[in-house]
Amino acid sequence: MNTRMVSWQGIHGARTLHDVAGSTGAVMPANGVLLKAPHAVARINHGRWIADCPFGCMGAEYVDLTNPEFFCCNCRNADVKNHLVPIDLPPIRRANAIESLLMRRKIVNRNWHPGESLKDLRDENVVYGVTT
């Protein structure tokens, strides 16, 4: 069983968002983060930290928990002239607690969304037959 959730670093290593976005030869992210733009929201899906595109293109990207900036490689954040937008993340202690509860599950059941409490996750663990 995997021992960690998959995040940006697990997929892209030390490559920056600009490195990855530029590797396709498409439009690069503009400089700066727009704080007043729609925010992306982090969630866990099948053991992966991801954020859905806040512009409705149906894209999703891996989340860098140490650098919560979002750039959609599908729509290129065109609605905000290719600027990065913030990703809303749970505080690190809460993120660690969420991961700890999810790591006990099979990958297919390692899911969390911002509306779920730690109690919800513990209750789901019982349903999934997870002990300890």
Residue 40 lies in a domain: yes
**H-helix segments, 13-81:** 17-22
Residue 132 lies in a domain: no
- Structure tokens that stand for 108 in this block: 């297919």
What is the pairing mode between strands 69-70 and 83-88?
Answer: antiparallel
In a domain, 73, yes or no: yes
- Written as one letter, the residue type at 123 is D
Answer yes or no: is 66 within a domain.
Answer: yes
> Which residues span the domain enclosing 39?
8-127
Q: What is the pLDDT along the chain (132 residues), one digit of tens a residue?
A: 455 788 888 888 877 777 777 766 667 777 777 878 899 999 999 999 999 999 999 999 999 988 899 999 899 999 999 999 999 999 999 999 999 999 999 999 999 999 999 999 999 999 999 976
Helix (H, G, I), strand (E, B), or coil: what is residue 86?
strand
Residue 3 lies in a domain: no
Structure tokens at 69: 């900036």
- Answer yes or no: is 90 within a domain: yes
Name the domain count of the chain: 1
Distance of CA 12 to the CA centre of its chain: 13
